[in-house]
Chain A
Amino acid sequence: MITDAKPIVTARIGVPESWTLRAYLEHGGYDGLRKALTMDRADVTQEVLTANLLGRGGAGFEAGKKWGMLRKAEPVYLVINGDESEPCTFKDHMLLEEDPHEIVEGTLICAYAVGASQAFIFVRGEFALGLERLTAAVNEAYAFGAIGRNILGSDFSVDLVVHPGAGAYICGEETALLESLEGKRGYPRDKPPWFPAVKGLYGAPTVVNNVETMSNLPWIVQNGGAAFAALGIGRSTGTRIFSVSGHVKRPANYEIEMAKTTFRDLLYDPKLGGGIRNDNELKAFVPGGVSAPWFGPDQLDMALDQDAVGKAGSMLGSGSVVAMDDTTCMVRAAWRITRFFHRESCGQCTPCREGGGWLDKVLRRIELGQGRESDLDLLLDVCDNIAPGLSWPPQKTTICVLGPSIPSSIVSGIKMFRDEFLVHIKDGRCPFG
């Protein structure tokens, strides 16, 4: 079911020159910040807690709760994650280009709530236009008095720096992002024992939140956390952007109310995905970024509810749903995803660095017709050595979950399409040509 809930973060998209301060102010821009600055810091956090805003970066952790976990020490840093690199996720890219002021305003509200002394927005380096629009927005916001000293006449002051990345998926992982922001190789940090809220940027307590998470804040402050929580069901509150791609007729970003819409709606509703191209059969779909285990058509009626998807053994993750129709070679799909993880491993952990390459090579062999009977067991056992038990969420032998995400597509592929893998091996070629 598609509800008539109004979009929250994409409301201004489509407005002419939506990225300018002028357009932003015409549509209520910076009123949320203005209001927040009249509130107690704790009250701002309380509204976000009431809203039960779940992080939109992939892990789905309650934003307000995260802010409350900060170690009590000075300085506090706020780092916004705009590195969006999870394959087939393209919502933050759009927000950065189309509504950068909303991100800036949300960031300032968050900085105020957590008492940050400086905020950074880490933007994926490849987003050239996004960087230009966001930088222009920050320039405008400084001139407007919304960033810098005595923001909007209050006694709150904070600086905001737009920081370009340089091309490495792993920098989306929050601790790798912090290393990268410190000017180093993007190596995730081992946690436990220390999370960013305790030891983050330069060892100081740090909040890391996703861009879309920030974009929700002006609305929440304006309308109250309760209004946000009234949307959605249970823990999955508010609206959320889903990036729909693959074999659908209308690939695009859609902001819909959480938990009330199903995957079927998302892929087939004429106002959303619009159905599978050429009206082919759906073979499988990725429910939340390529790190997530796949679902089959039998799960189409599951609601877009974080907890329900989790219980079914996958995740909503970064909110990207990729449809694969019956013309898709599942070995090739799994191989392509595995190759991605292989190339994007930061290289620290032995299982991820070496295991990724090994799995890539075995899948390549199978797809190119040189598979062996023993390869499927080998694939599963190598996967098991990266993510023991092959469960979801994964157990890990590694520092971050990039490594343990490698098995997702392989295990899904072998579980759901074992025969297809075997045909590749037996026939010595790919049946899809």
Chain B
Amino acid sequence: MARLTAENLQRARQLVALYPHPRSALIPILHIVQEQDGWLTPDGMAHVGELLDIEPAEVYGTASFYDMFFTHPVGRHLVSVCTNLACLLNGGGELLEHAEARLGVAAGGTTADGEFTLEEVECIAFCGAAPCLAVNWRFFGNVSNDDFDQLVDDLAAGRLADEVPPHGTLCRVRRRVGLTAGVPAGPPPADDAKPAQGSAQ
């Protein structure tokens, strides 16, 4: 499996530049690896190790601490059903059972077509809408069994492609600037200098 593509390598290097110490960029870069391949491939992790000058074992050890990282392949849609207290009180357990039946896999499993991985998760901070779940970390609240079936149909049919990107894609907004505070900019601003788009309104 794959090392980082040239474009992603470039993104990774930009991330490294944001931190006082390169290793701080490890987790953000692992999100890029997971965005690229859907999971953390051994080659991807080894490449990140090279980039940050740390052992692959450290990359793997660190990644494995975190629930969002998968070191084995998962489905294109990661369905995360919460069963923690607020959801438990509002039928989260039953929702999970329904999801297992509907997808035909137990929590932790992936459907044969590789479309869905179902997991039971801890509180996803959406308790006002319990029972709730997330698909690739896009949140859905007050989910009834029927809602769930509809959701699965929509996802499978690609009707939610805009709202729910493939598994691994976390933040679609990219940072546009590097660090600027320490970069001396031309002449010091005049006293009455107005910030770029200051009081436009």
Q: Could you tell me if B172 and A159 are in contact, using CB atoms closer than 8 angstroms?
A: no
A88/B84 contact (C-beta < 8 A), A149-B185, A159-B181, A183-B62 known: yes
Q: How far is the CA of A332 from the CA of B84 in the complex (A)?
A: 11
Q: What are the residues of chain A within 8 A of B68 when measuring CB–CB?
A: 125-126, 166-167
Once bound together, how far apart are the Cα atoms of A168 and B68, in whole Å?
Answer: 8
Q: Which residue of B lies closest to A335 (CB)?
A: B88
A114 adjacent to chain B (CB < 8 Å): no
Please measure, in the bound complex, the distance between the C-alpha atom of A340 and the C-alpha atom of B23, giving whole angstroms.
29
Q: Which of B2-10, B100-108, B124-132, B149-157 contacts A (4 or more CB under 8 A)?
A: B124-132
Q: Is the CB of A125 within 8 A of B123?
A: no
- How many chain B residues sit at the interface, stated as a range, is 35 or more
For the complex, give the distance between the alpha carbons of A130 and B139 in Å: 11
Contact of A124 with B194 in the complex, beta carbons under 8 Å: no
Q: Is the CB of A145 within 8 A of B198?
A: yes
Compute how far the CA of A346 lies from the CA of B89 in the bound complex, rounded to whole angstroms: 27
* Contact, CB under 8 Å: B175 / A135: yes
A230 smallest CB distance to B (angstroms): 30
A136 to B175: give the CA distance in the assembly, Å: 7
Taking the complex as formed, is B52 at the interface, i.e. its CB lies under 8 A from any CB of chain A? yes
Given contacts A125-B137, A157-B180, 6 further A-B contacts (CB under 8 A): A93-B126, A118-B181, A126-B68, A145-B196, A181-B24, A324-B89
9 closest A-B pairs by CB? A145-B195, A167-B67, A183-B26, A166-B66, A183-B23, A167-B68, A148-B180, A87-B123, A157-B181
Q: Does the CB pair A139–B173 fall under 8 Å?
A: yes
Tell me which residues across on chain A come within 8 A of B86, comparing CB atoms: 87-88, 245-246, 251, 322
A325-354 vs B, CB cutoff 8 Å, 1 = contact: the mask equals 000100011001100100110100000000
In the complex, the answer to whether A128 meets B171 with C-beta atoms within 8 Å is yes
User: For chain A residues 76-118, which have a beta carbon within 8 Å of chain B?
Assistant: 84-90, 92-93, 117-118
Q: Known: A124-B125, A153-B195, A336-B88. Contact between A26 and B201, CB under 8 A?
A: yes
A184: interface (CB < 8 Å): yes
Contacts of B173 in A (CB 8 A): 131-133, 135-136, 139
Contact A252 B137, CB 8 Å, known A143-B197, A324-B89 = no
Q: Which of A85, A181, A252 contacts B123 (CB 8 A)?
A: A85
What are the interface flags for B23-58 relative to A under an 8 Å C-beta threshold, 1 for contact and 0 otherwise?
A: 111111011000000000000000000001000000
Range class of the A interface residue count: 35 or more
The distance from the CB of A132 to the nearest CB of chain B, in whole angstroms, is 4
Whole-angstrom distance between the alpha carbons of A225 and B193 in the complex?
30
Contact with A along B163-186 (1 / 0, CB 8 A): 000000011111111011111110
Contact (A22, B195) CB under 8 Å given A126-B137, A148-B180, A251-B127 = no
**Smallest beta-carbon distance A104→chain B, Å:** 13
Q: Nearest-CB distance from A207 to chain B (Å)?
A: 16
User: Do B123 and A143 touch (CB < 8 A)?
Assistant: no
Given the complex, which residues of B lie within 8 Å of A118, measured CB to CB? 20, 179, 181
* B69 in contact (CB, < 8 A): yes
Decide: A150 and B189 in contact? CB cutoff 8 A: yes
**A186 to B68 Cα, complex, angstroms:** 14
Closest to B63 in A: A166
- Whether A138 sits at the interface, judged by CB under 8 Å, is yes
- Nearest-neighbour CB distance to chain A for B168, whole angstroms, equals 11
Residue A182 lies at the interface, judged by CB distance under 8 Å to chain B: yes
- How does the 8 Å CB contact mask read for B71-88 relative to A, with 1 for contact and 0 for none? 000000000100111101
Scoring A residues 21 to 55 as 1 if CB is less than 8 Å from chain B, else 0, what string do you get? 01001100000000000000000000000000000
Give chain A nearest CB distance to B35 CB in angstroms.
Answer: 11
A158 within 8 A of B: yes
Kindly state whether residue A164 has any CB partner on chain B within 8 Å.
yes
Binding site for A on B (CB under 8 A): 18-21, 23-28, 30-31, 52, 61-63, 65-69, 80, 83-86, 88-90, 122-130, 134, 136-139, 170-177, 179-185, 188-189, 191, 193-198, 201
Chain A residue numbers with a CB within 8 Å of B123 are 85-89, 340
Contact B195 A149 (CB under 8 A): no
Within 8 A of B (CB), among A157-193: 157-159, 161-169, 180-186
Q: Which residue of B lies closest to A332 (CB)?
A: B88
Chain B residues, CB < 8 A from A336? 83-85, 88
Contacts of A332 in B (CB 8 A): 88
Q: List the interface of chain A (C-beta within 8 A of B).
A: 22, 25-26, 75, 84-90, 92-93, 117-118, 124-129, 131-133, 135-136, 138-139, 142-150, 152-153, 155, 157-159, 161-169, 180-186, 202, 243-247, 251-253, 286, 290, 320, 322, 324, 328, 332-333, 336-337, 340, 343-344, 346
Query: Which of B69, B125, B181 has most chain A Cβ within 10 Å?
Result: B125
Pair A186/B89 contact, Cβ less than 8 Å = no
7 residue pairs bridging A and B, Cβ less than 8 Å apart: A90-B127, A90-B128, A125-B31, A125-B137, A168-B67, A246-B89, A340-B84
Residue pair A252, B128 in contact (C-beta under 8 Å): yes
Chain A residue contacts of B23, Cβ below 8 A: 182-184
Chain A residues, CB < 8 A from B194:
153
- Asked whether A93 and B88 contact (CB < 8 A) given A22-B201, A149-B181, A149-B183, the answer is no
Q: Give bound CA distance, A336 to B130, whole Å.
A: 16
Contact between chains at B128 and A251 (CB < 8 Å): yes
Tell me the complex Cα distance, A84–B126, Å: 11
Docked pose: A159 CA to B128 CA in angstroms: 34
Residues of B within 8 A of A344 (CB): 122
